[in-house]
Amino acid sequence: IFSQVLLAPADPILGLTDTFKADPRQDKVNLGVGIYKDEAGQTPVLTSVKKAEAILLEQEKTKNYLGIEGVQAYNHVVQTLLFGEGSALITSGRAATAQAPGGTGALRIAAEFLLRNTDSHTIWVSNPTWANHQNIFETAGLAVKEYGYYKAEAHDIDFDTMMTDLSHANAGDVVLLHGCCHNPTGIDLTLAQWERVAQLCADKKLVPLFDFAYQGFGAGIEEDAAGLRLVASKVPELLVANSFSKNFGLYNERIGAVTVVAEDADAAVRAFSQVKRTIRANYSNPPAHGALIVSTILNDAGLKAMWVQEVKEMRERIAEMRTLFVDSLKAEGVTQDFSFISRQNGMFSFSGLNKAQVARLKDEFGVYIVGSGRISVAGMTKTNMPVICKAIAQVL
């Protein structure tokens, strides 16, 4: 039976990392996958995380199963990060959060919950969006439609098309929104644009699903939640899938959460019971370590301050690399305007490089970026910048 199975295509992002690893060139650079690198090109464990792990090693008394929803103290701090200290959404009981294995796991649980318990079976995602979105939603059984988001010539948002496309959505359709640091374009909505999206969702009874994987990598931990909080103040129902892979550097701990916001506390209890049922059918209950790290840090004023500082350093280093990239390209004699890169947010930018140029970067220069032209700015350092910019100057 298995001999009939066809070979799956390589994953567009993780498959690139496999090729990168097999590349023998010394000065190769991986700007494909979204992993934060420090100035030394490393992805070290955050100091706040190491300290929390030391506490856990000392104090952990059991490896007993968690409940289906995970660590309760963790779920509580997630809500505070999302909606703000003392938010009425939290105190009213309208929000219910379950720990999930990464942002990916949270998106999958959200999708399956919608499919099995509601009439919301269509989800609108931005064009372009993170390469795994369509895969996750279609595999879960949702129909995926696209709304325009990006004007390639202007390297800017195409907000009019976004609004026009979403005006064709039906009541009950789900709209996937990137909370901040849009992946892959690095272009976020302004507050005025969030306001209009919120109004459209409210008027047309669309259900926002926030993918919030980069809180703290845009303007700041609280600042980056502004769009989510604004939309949450205008619509009766929404979902959030958040991830701590990037902002806590907990990539391989697989830690995120799915949050349902319902019209009232009673509806939230019922919705949450079905979220738990979905989790039970998928992996029964989540692993503990990542959640215990995050809740230990966020419930300790000293560790939290340390984490806030570490996120700030990551955010500022990425911003510095954006400026250096633009300046270095100029210094290499590139006349094309790349200044848009320094106006964008988060780990990624859409370079505008075409498939042939991307292929030459890899084959001739050992510089790996995703076929779409998406560059992980977070993988740039002062050391690899000359290699990157010389190569780009050549392929242009």
Active site residue 130: yes
3-state secondary structure of 144: strand
φ, ψ of residue 51 in degrees (nearest 5): -70, -40
Active site residue 390: no
* Rounded least distance, CB 95 to ligand PMP, Å: 20
User: Quick one: 104 or 120, whose CB is closer to ligand PMP?
Assistant: 104
User: What are the helix (H) ranges across 157-247?
Assistant: 159-167, 191-204, 226-234
User: Quick one: 188 or 357, whose CB is closer to ligand PMP?
Assistant: 188
* Rounded least distance, CB 277 to ligand PMP, Å: 22
CA distance linking residue 396 with residue 385, whole number of Å: 16
Among residues 37, 51, 124, 130, the one annotated as catalytic is 130
The answer to whether 208 contacts ligand PMP (rule: CB under 6 A) is no
User: Quick one: 15 or 302, whose CB is closer to ligand PMP?
Assistant: 15
Q: How many CB atoms lie within 10 A of CB 22?
A: 7
Among residues 51, 246, 276, 362, the one annotated as catalytic is 246
CA distance linking residue 67 with residue 58, whole number of Å: 22
Cβ-Cβ contacts under 8 Å for 223 (sequence gap 6 or more): none
Active site residue 211: yes
The answer to whether 104 contacts ligand PMP (rule: CB under 6 A) is yes
User: Quick one: 132 or 161, whose CB is closer to ligand PMP?
Assistant: 132
Q: Restricting to residues 276-295, which ones interact with ligand PMP according to CB under 6 A?
A: none
The answer to whether 148 contacts ligand PMP (rule: CB under 6 A) is no
* Rounded least distance, CB 32 to ligand PMP, Å: 11
Candidates 243, 344, 351, 384; binder of ligand PMP (CB under 6 A) is 243
CA distance linking residue 133 with residue 318, whole number of Å: 24
The answer to whether 253 contacts ligand PMP (rule: CB under 6 A) is no
CB 188 within 8 A of CB 217: no
Cβ-Cβ contacts under 8 Å for 193 (sequence gap 6 or more): 157, 159
Alpha-carbon torsion, ordered 287, 288, 290, 292, to 10 deg = 170
* Rounded least distance, CB 243 to ligand PMP, Å: 3
Pairing state of beta strands 348-350 and 122-127? unpaired
CA distance linking residue 360 with residue 216, whole number of Å: 34
CB 182 within 8 A of CB 212: no
Site string for ligand PMP, 29-68 (x = CB under 6 A): -----x----------------------------------
User: Which of these segments, 54-62, 99-107, 330-338, 363-371, binds ligand PMP (CB under 6 A)?
Assistant: 99-107
Q: Which two tokens stand for residue 257?
A: 């959460």
User: Which of these segments, 20-28, 50-58, 101-109, 288-296, binds ligand PMP (CB under 6 A)?
Assistant: 101-109
Q: Restricting to residues 180-199, which ones interact with ligand PMP according to CB under 6 A?
A: 183
Candidates 48, 83, 97, 102; binder of ligand PMP (CB under 6 A) is 102
CA distance linking residue 272 with residue 240, whole number of Å: 13
The answer to whether 224 contacts ligand PMP (rule: CB under 6 A) is no
DSSP 5: P
- Calculate the CA 290 to chain-centre distance: 17
Q: Restricting to residues 116-135, which ones interact with ligand PMP according to CB under 6 A?
A: 130
The answer to whether 103 contacts ligand PMP (rule: CB under 6 A) is yes
User: Quick one: 45 or 171, whose CB is closer to ligand PMP?
Assistant: 45
Element (H, E) at 58: helix 47-59
Residues in contact with ligand PMP by CB under 6 A are 34, 102-104, 130, 178, 183, 211, 213, 243, 245, 256
Q: Active-site residues: which are they?
A: 130, 211, 246
